[in-house]
Amino acid sequence: MWKQLNGIAVVLALATCLASAQGGRRAEQRMEQLLSRQPVPVQNAIRAQLGGGRLRTIDQDENDGETIYDVEMVRDGKTRSFSVSAEGELLDAEVFMEELPAAIQQAIRTKVGSATLGEIDKSIDDGQASFEVEMITAGKTRTFSLDATGKLTDEEVDLAELPDVLQKAIQKEVAGGKIDQVTRTFDTGDTLYDVDISQNHKTRTVTFDAAGAPLCEAEEVTLEEVPAAVKTQIQKLSDGGKVVSISKVIENGAMSFDVDVRKQGKVESHTLAEDGTVVADGAK
């Protein structure tokens, strides 16, 4: 009787393993079908990142007029995420402490301190790496950024942490709006504060110096909201490409427009005067 039961147990175990294997193959087939429905550049970028990993999800999102593909996978026993553009450019990828250079690890540990470390995202811009790090303290998540050497370039802060003179200046600028985020930046050599303010279904960013003086203001706008001469110039610049974003900038009483255009997988940046004249341009 024992031998018979033991044999049944073996058969059941084999059947369970077989069902599990079949279920795994079906899941892989579904993911392969999902991947095959994406644009070819996106497919290639995802496959390159997967390596020997296993695809879990692909989510399509719109960010500043650009289509972004957020991907989750499992590799080396860890779930990690990354994002690619519609042109197949890797935008950022989740990394883990043990994968980072020693200088970056030390900088993160020093900054996080007794807080809880969250997600670490690595981005490449103009061939230079940067790292955005989450930390959780008192139940709140905030971020900070490091450059490739481990230098702190910016950090999210609370309004209450700022000097009184700066708090009052920000609150005056906010008026009836709402503060979405305050970011302290160090990468210009000076300490500046970028304050994102939402009001009337729009978000504008006002930059203050450490003494509370507003330096400039930027707001995302549409092509239909810019002056006619600027609109005409943007249409010329974007011919054969796509307008990614347009920001209206007011600095020292003068208005200008920062325009990002994507052409052949690369983003070109242009600054236009109020009369449509191109005053600066470059590539990202």
Q: H helices within the chain, ranges in order?
A: 2-36, 40-50, 102-112, 164-174, 228-237
Total-model pTM: 0.78
Residue range 13-71, pLDDT digits in tens? 555 545 555 555 676 788 888 898 999 999 999 999 998 889 999 999 887 667 899 99
In degrees to the nearest 10, what's the CA dihedral of 146, 149, 152, 154? Answer: -50
Residue 2 scores a pLDDT above 50: no
Residue range 253-267, pLDDT digits in tens? 999 999 999 887 778
| CATH code for the domain of 268 | 3.10.450.360
Give CA–CA dist 112/121, Å, rounded.
15
Give CA–CA dist 109/255, Å, rounded.
42
Q: Are residue 135 and residue 8 in the same domain, yes or no?
A: yes
Q: Are residue 144 and residue 201 in the same domain, yes or no?
A: no
Model confidence at 3, pLDDT cuts 50, 70, 90, reads very low
Q: Are residue 69 and residue 137 in the same domain, yes or no?
A: yes
Range with lowest mean pLDDT among 156-160, 195-199, 237-241:
237-241
Model confidence at 176, pLDDT cuts 50, 70, 90, reads confident
Residue 283 scores a pLDDT above 90: no
The first and second tokens of residue 137, run together, are 């303290």
| Angle at CA of residue 20, ends 14 and 21, nearest 5° | 90
The first and second tokens of residue 74, run together, are 């499992």
For 200, phi and psi rounded to 5 degrees? 55, 45
Residue 248 scores a pLDDT above 90: yes
Give CA–CA dist 258/219, Å, rounded.
10
Residue range 195-220, pLDDT digits in tens? 999 988 889 999 999 999 999 999 99
Note whether 122 and 131 are within 8 A (CB): yes
Note whether 122 and 84 are within 8 A (CB): no
Q: Are residue 27 and residue 131 in the same domain, yes or no?
A: yes
- Please state, in angstroms and as integers, the Cα–Cα distance from residue 249 to each residue in 133, 152, 170, 181, 226, following that order: 28, 26, 18, 19, 11
Q: Are residue 115 and residue 239 in the same domain, yes or no?
A: no
Q: Which of 103, 127, 153 is the last residue of a domain?
A: 153
Q: What is the pLDDT of residue 218?
A: 96
- 3-class DSSP assignment, residue 225: helix
Contacts of 35 (CB under 8 A, 6+ apart): 43, 46, 47, 55, 58
Residue 273 scores a pLDDT above 50: yes
The first and second tokens of residue 67, run together, are 């289509």
Q: Are residue 243 and residue 264 in the same domain, yes or no?
A: yes
| Angle at CA of residue 241, ends 129 and 219, nearest 5° | 65
Q: Are residue 101 and residue 71 in the same domain, yes or no?
A: yes
Among all chains, which residue has been given the structure tokens 């008026």?
175
| CATH code for the domain of 82 | 3.10.450
Q: Based on the structure, what is the number of domains in the chain?
A: 3
Q: Are residue 69 and residue 121 in the same domain, yes or no?
A: yes
Note whether 248 and 241 are within 8 A (CB): no
The first and second tokens of residue 3, run together, are 């031998």
Q: Are residue 73 and residue 29 in the same domain, yes or no?
A: yes
Give CA–CA dist 263/238, Å, rounded.
8
Q: Which of 215, 233, 264 is the last residue of a domain?
A: 215
Q: Are residue 136 and residue 31 in the same domain, yes or no?
A: yes
Q: Are residue 54 and residue 139 in the same domain, yes or no?
A: yes
Torsion sign over Cα 273, 276, 282, 284: positive
Q: Are residue 164 and residue 268 in the same domain, yes or no?
A: no
Mean pLDDT of the chain: 88
Side chain identity, residue 185: T
Q: What is the pLDDT of residue 284?
A: 54
Q: What is the pLDDT of residue 64?
A: 66
Q: What domain range includes position 191?
A: 158-215
The first and second tokens of residue 94, run together, are 């989740």
Q: What is the pLDDT of residue 49?
A: 92
